[in-house]
Structure 1
Amino acid sequence: MTTFDERERAFENQFAHDQEMQFRITARRNRLLGEWAAARMGLTPEETDAYAKAVVQADFEEAGDEDVIRKIVGDLTSAGIDIDEPTVRSALEEQAVIARRQFMEQK
């Protein structure tokens, strides 16, 4: 194996590792956002856990964050909570920072 092949393999491995870490951070962020929304809806701990998992699953509907934001806004509105999309986007950004911090602390 040449040095070039070794470097190429190292870059591929690093890329795969980075993608996996980003996936985990995004999933954690979505879970935290689900917990944030559940607290506003006054859900029980069991309901909060199930709802947070549903938010994580909602992210697989389409690329990007729009599916998660749409779910949270829709669910909060259905629960009678006055909320707008910018508020949810702001909470999403806050939860992303927390998720990244938690992930880095684990290492």
Structure 2
Amino acid sequence: MSTFDDRERAFEAKFARDEDMAFRITARRNKLLGQWAAAKMGLTPEETDAYAKAVVQADFEEAGDEDVIRKLLGDMLAANVEIDDATVRRAIEEQTVEARRQLMESK
């Protein structure tokens, strides 16, 4: 029974690590998305930092990426930046890859 218990604990630990990494990747991605959008809107460095944090916070409104997409589209359209849903979704994919790369390099 000890081997089974050890295996179960190992699977639980791996699951916890994987979930933690997924959370970190999403948070880093959202920060990068905020910086990307801020550059398109022409924000100052101070405004960029605040905006990136706001995008990270927006992701806690509901599960999935729709809350972040709504925020980015709404803010960018309000700032008279021509953007569409497909461009934002493509940026999400690109920034996810970049966030994963950054986190892997930092380990």
TM-score under structure 2 normalisation?
0.98
AA paired with 1:54? Answer: A
CA distance in 2, matches of 1:77, 1:68: 14
Q: Residue 77 of structure 1 corresponds to which residue in structure 2?
A: 77
Q: Residue 27 of structure 2 corresponds to which residue in structure 1?
A: 27
Q: Residue 17 of structure 2 corresponds to which residue in structure 1?
A: 17
SS at match of 1:13: helix
Q: Deviations over 1:72-94 (max 9, x none)?
A: 00000000111100000001111
TM-score under structure 1 normalisation?
0.98
Q: How many corresponding residue pairs?
A: 107
CA distance in 1, matches of 2:71, 2:85: 11
AA paired with 1:20? Answer: D
Q: Residue 38 of structure 2 corresponds to which residue in structure 1?
A: 38
Q: Which runs of 5+ in 2 are unaligned?
A: none
Q: Deviations over 1:26-54 (max 9, x none)?
A: 00000000000000011010100000000
Which structure 2 residues correspond to residues 85-104 of structure 1 after superposition, within 5 A?
85-104=85-104
Shift in Å, 1:105: 0.6
Q: CA RMSD in A?
A: 0.8
Percent identity, aligned pairs only? 75
